[in-house]
């Protein structure tokens, strides 16, 4: 929990629970953080994957973790990544296990 400040998403002056280091910093209040995480989680569940080893679509998703990426300064082509999802996927047909890592850059501004 950080001091009260202006949430970068909703603009309300309230308690900040997550801060992504950037210029300027991206600040999230609890409501906005919950909403971002819920959105990515919901849409991740809708995504279809194929096994990267055998091409099968019989994939089981496990260990989904979604959060605000506070700790790491993620600079990919100068774009800051605020929300991430990591999951373990297992192929039912060939038993291969692999991971996917989603980094949400937010809406395109240019």
**For binding to Zn ion (CB under 5 A), which residues are involved?**
7, 9-10, 29, 32, 51, 53-54, 56, 91, 93-94, 96
CB of 72 to Zn ion, least distance (A): 22
Residue 75's contacts (CB-CB under 8 Å, 6 or more residues apart) are none
Other beta carbons less than 10 A from residue 82's beta carbon: 23
Residue number with CB closer to Zn ion (1 or 78):
1
In the complex, the smallest distance separating the C-beta of residue 77 from Zn ion, rounded to whole angstroms, is 26
Q: Which is nearer to Zn ion, 52 or 79 (CB)?
A: 52
> What strands lie across the sheet with 83-91, from one edge to the other?
59-68, 83-91, 97-104
């Amino acid at each position: 929990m950080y001091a009260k400040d202006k949430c970068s998403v909703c603009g309300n002056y309230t308690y900040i629970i997550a801060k992504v280091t950037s210029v300027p910093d991206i600040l999230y209040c609890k409501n906005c953080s919950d909403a971002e995480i819920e959105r990515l989680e919901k849409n991740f569940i809708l995504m279809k994957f194929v096994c990267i080893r055998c091409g099968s679509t019989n994939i089981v998703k496990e260990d989904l973790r979604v959060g605000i990426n506070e700790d790491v300064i993620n600079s990919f082509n100068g774009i800051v990544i605020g929300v991430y999802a990591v999951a373990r996927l297992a192929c039912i047909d060939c038993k291969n296990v692999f991971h996917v890592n989603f980094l949400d850059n937010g809406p395109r501004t240019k």
